[in-house]
Amino acid sequence: MAIDRTAPIGVFDSGVGGLTVVRALMERLPLERIIYFGDTARVPYGIKSVPTIEHFTAQITDHLLGEGVKMLIVACNTMAAVASHVVKERAGDIPVLDVIEAGAQAAVAQTRSGAIGVIGTPTTINSNAYARRMHELNDSLRVFSQACPLFVPLVEEGWLDHPVTRLTAEEYLKPVLAEDVDSLVLGCTHYPLLKALLQSVAGPQVRLVDSAVTTAQAAAQWLAREGMANPARSLPDYRFRVTDIPLRFQTIGERFLGRSLGQIDKVDW
């Protein structure tokens, strides 16, 4: 069965974080329709076990495939790190992109010194997925990883440029910066909101890799190469599905998306 070029791109995450990927897609591919799925009733995945994350990932994948998407984007580093095989097994001919693949490719392409830092949630870092993928691409690289469990709550608190966040970043980044990395992969979809602060703590000699932006670039390349870009000339529709609509969802979601969220549907499971 041929895939429909006018079908939407399915983007999913454990919560609101993946909206940074949606934002990058909207900017890079303004004619593409997007369905976003955020599992806000069970967020965060980063502190859960691998079998639990695999189970949740399978449920969301099936839901989006049922919507007839033309591409799946795993916009959650935790799911990409430990459960991307689950998505690919179920997706069949539908292409599957993920933030780890896109971030790893971009970091390997840009490094000059061969020393790369990666920051993320404990589950992402413990999975070693970024380092493994970068070593597959170039086995002479040196990769230094650091879990930063407080960054997600700091972003959700809105302390994007706060002394507490700066002090926390200085502590987390110290061992990575001591290795003279020239690239730092933001291995969590919340971290693009800390870009300015992280750049200032890391210093001008370190280039940040924003995996939301690199994922949107990878999606654009695939669509162009396969002739699968949406031929529509009208503005596309965006749909947002969540498993729960908590108190601060609208506020936090719009901070991530950089614009109004519009229609949000709650899925009851």
* Chain residues in the site for its own copies (CB under 8 A): 40-43, 47-49, 52, 122-123, 126, 149-150, 152-154, 156-157, 159, 163-164, 167-168, 171, 244-248
Report the distance separating Cα 2 and Cα 42, nearest Å: 34
CA-wise closest residue to 255 among 26, 27, 20: 20
The two tokens of residue 124 are 């992402």
Report the distance separating Cα 54 and Cα 38, nearest Å: 15
Min dist. Cβ of residue 223 to its own copies (A): 35
The two tokens of residue 30 are 């303004």
Of 49 and 200, nearer to its own copies (C-beta) is 49
Of 4 and 171, nearer to its own copies (C-beta) is 171
Q: Is 148 a catalytic residue?
A: no
Min dist. Cβ of residue 268 to its own copies (A): 10
21, 106, 123, 187, 219 from 102: Cα distances, Å: 11, 6, 18, 10, 9
Per residue, what are the HEC states of 193-218? HHHHHHHHHHCCCCEEEEHHHHHHHH
Of 30 and 175, nearer to its own copies (C-beta) is 175
Of 8 and 46, nearer to its own copies (C-beta) is 46
Find the catalytic residue in 24, 35, 76, 201: 76
Q: Is 76 a catalytic residue?
A: yes
Q: Looking at the annotation, which residues are catalytic?
A: 76, 188
